[in-house]
Structure 1
Amino acid sequence: MAVPASQLAAPRHWPLWVGVGVAWLACRLPVSWQASLGRGLGRLAWRAGGRRRRIADANIDLCFPELSPRERAGLVRRTFQASGIGFMETVQAWLGPVDTVADRLECHGLDDLLEAQAEGRGVLLAGAHFLTLDLTGALLASRVPFDVVYRGHRNPVIEWLMVRGRRRHYGAVIERHELRQAARRLREGHIVWYAADQDYGRRHSVFAPLFGEPAATVVATARLARMGGSPVVFYSHFRDEETRTWSVRFQRVEEFPSGDDEADAARLNAILESEIRRHPEQYLWLHRRFKTRPDGIESPYGTWGRRRKRRRDRQSP
């Protein structure tokens, strides 16, 4: 989506542009310095508390009841630190050079992706919101070109930065409402990444278990695979802080879609859960993954989450 220059230059965005300038400089620091800076930002955000920490607390409590309260608190703290590092990685992917770390990407199961691609029907790369999303994507795209489907941002500066930054690396950057364009790219033989872990509400989702909880899961993943007639490969990605490397993993999802939306969503969520458990602190627990609940089941985010939603609804045209 094109953002008018008048919106980008509005005085209310000037402080954000100053931050962008600082970020541009920061992403040119050595990788170890960037990681330390990101970790520090994450610690500050954790200490500040606020809404995101309450969301992370609720998500971790819901998904990891087998952990002790102390272990869950530690996981939340590590999640914030990992999120800070992920922020710096995103800045590097959007604004900085990525060729400096191009040799630090390890691929596991790449044959699953390449064999699916060789069938000539395109490949739907079913992804999720792991914190290494943008940097690993940029590194992978330099080896295996692919397109991405994204969700627009309400802030025009961030929207512009995100789209511009991703166009540096990907073949096509497709807004999520343009599924026909994504399906056309699949039919043309391209690989298209789509986030299978979004909660777009009851109208666009079915409930499927995730960590034993009913999670509203988009049916568009199956719909897009059906529209494109394409095989589906699940894609996950992580960082190794000790070796300062990143890894990506591919798993073909056989006989997908099956025609049963709930069964398909459950299969993808089972794979997602298994991958999250590899490095639980590297998933985006700071967003309300369980905001849509079945009738009669309380929101894990409490009344403060519902109040915010009602306020946003009142502001909508």
Structure 2
Amino acid sequence: MTTVFRLLAVLPLWLLHVMGVALGWVALLASPTYRRRFVANAAQAGYTLRQVGGAVGAAGQLIAEVPRLWFGRPPPVQWSGEHLIDEALARGRGIVFLTPHLGCFEATAQGYAARYGRITVLYRPARKAWLRPLVDQARRRPNLETAPTTLAGVKQMLKALQAGQAVGLLPDQVPPQGLGVWAPFFGKPAYTMTLSARLARQTGAAVLLAWGERLRWGRGYRIHLRPWPGAVPEAPDAAAVGVNAQMEALVRECPAQYLWGYARYKAPRGAA
């Protein structure tokens, strides 16, 4: 598998994206379950399939671009709102980046690591044993550290923030049972992690909202940054509501690049 990924990594980004669009539509047409979830999630946010049809291909592009991002030369990256990072780093308290399943979230972490320095990203280890060595090896980029969704991973992220470094999370990812609360996401209860707000409160780190726009014709990515409005609520329930509201706002900036097929509303094992 590593050999296949390395071969695909030499292809131009525009070609990988073209292949990804085809892959996205094949997946939608071939899987009734995926198609129903895609349509239902988009409808929950007020969109029809026609309105977010671009997201079908974008989901395939998310997969097709992985070999380039993991094994190829870094793609071009543009920035929008980078002064927010400069201001946060000047405070020396670290940065918590919150990024939804929007655009290319791999590019946001890699772009930060290449320009600013070390960042630790929370990730869920691959469930398939044969995939774990590939994923672990591929994500070892300069200045890019990964932390598993375990207690050890949380401690690793706290340590990074205390050193004035940055961490990144996907707060619209369903956390394990006991690590989240139920909060509305586009008006429907979704099990939402409380870790991001807890990290910010415990360390005094700045909270920035970020997403990586996938530019057309393989021109790379544009990282958009937004400030967190006001203070992060102390109560876990209120913080989760705030996080979901901010993720909704980012998604509405470009719904054609959101991963509508993600099982956002599933309940973790053991959750009521």
Q: Same fold (TM over 0.5)?
A: yes
Q: 1:173 to 1:202 in 2, by over 3 A?
A: closer
- The residue identity in structure 1 corresponding to 2:58 is A
In structure 2, C-alpha distance between the alignment counterparts of 1:217 and 1:75, rounded to whole Å: 26
Superposed, which structure 2 residues align to 1:251-270 within 5 Å? 251-270=226-245
What secondary structure does 1:209 align onto? Answer: strand
For the 8 Å contact 2:104–2:211, the answer to whether it is kept is no
In structure 1, C-alpha distance between the alignment counterparts of 2:5 and 2:205, rounded to whole Å: 38
* Correspondence for 1:79 among 52, 55, 62: 55
1:77 positional shift: 4.3
Compute the RMSD of aligned alpha carbons: 2.4
How many equivalent residue pairs?
268
In the alignment, does 2:37 pair up with 1:55? Answer: yes
Superposed, which structure 2 residues align to 1:119-198 within 5 Å? 119-145=91-117, 146-177=119-150, 178-198=153-173
In structure 1, C-alpha distance between the alignment counterparts of 2:174 and 2:248, rounded to whole Å: 16
- The residue identity in structure 1 corresponding to 2:67 is V
In the alignment, does 2:90 pair up with 1:115? Answer: no
What secondary structure does 2:174 align onto? Answer: coil
In structure 2, C-alpha distance between the alignment counterparts of 1:21 and 1:44, rounded to whole Å: 24
For the 8 Å contact 2:126–2:132, the answer to whether it is kept is yes
In the alignment, does 2:255 pair up with 1:280? Answer: yes
What secondary structure does 1:258 align onto? Answer: coil
In structure 2, C-alpha distance between the alignment counterparts of 1:168 and 1:111, rounded to whole Å: 24
Q: Report what 2:196 is aligned to.
A: 221
In structure 1, C-alpha distance between the alignment counterparts of 2:170 and 2:205, rounded to whole Å: 16
What secondary structure does 1:107 align onto? Answer: strand
- The residue identity in structure 2 corresponding to 1:291 is K
Deviations 1:57-95 (A, max 9, x none): 22112222xx4xxxx233564322111111122221112
Q: Report what 1:4 is aligned to.
A: none
What secondary structure does 1:167 align onto? Answer: coil
For the 8 Å contact 1:39–1:84, the answer to whether it is kept is yes
- The residue identity in structure 2 corresponding to 1:124 is V
Structure 2 regions of 5+ residues with no counterpart? none
For the 8 Å contact 1:27–1:88, the answer to whether it is kept is no
Q: Report what 1:304 is aligned to.
A: none
Higher helix share: 1
* Correspondence for 1:89 among 38, 49, 65: 65
Structure 1 regions of 5+ residues with no counterpart? 1-16, 294-308, 311-317
In structure 2, C-alpha distance between the alignment counterparts of 1:278 and 1:131, rounded to whole Å: 11
Q: 1:158 to 1:281 in 2, by over 3 A?
A: farther
- The residue identity in structure 2 corresponding to 1:87 is I
In structure 2, C-alpha distance between the alignment counterparts of 1:46 and 1:291, rounded to whole Å: 19
For the 8 Å contact 2:114–2:142, the answer to whether it is kept is yes
1:214 positional shift: 2.2
Greater mean alpha carbon deviation, residues 238-247 or residues 25-34: 238-247
In structure 1, C-alpha distance between the alignment counterparts of 2:114 and 2:69, rounded to whole Å: 12
Higher RCO (CA-CA < 8 Å; seq separation 6+): 2
- Normalised by the length of structure 1, the TM-score is 0.77
- The residue identity in structure 2 corresponding to 1:165 is A
For the 8 Å contact 1:123–1:190, the answer to whether it is kept is yes
- The residue identity in structure 1 corresponding to 2:55 is T
- How high is the sequence identity, in percent, across the aligned residues? 28
Q: Report what 2:12 is aligned to.
A: 30
In structure 2, C-alpha distance between the alignment counterparts of 1:265 and 1:135, rounded to whole Å: 25
1:148 positional shift: 1.0
* Correspondence for 1:237 among 190, 193, 212: 212
- The residue identity in structure 1 corresponding to 2:9 is C
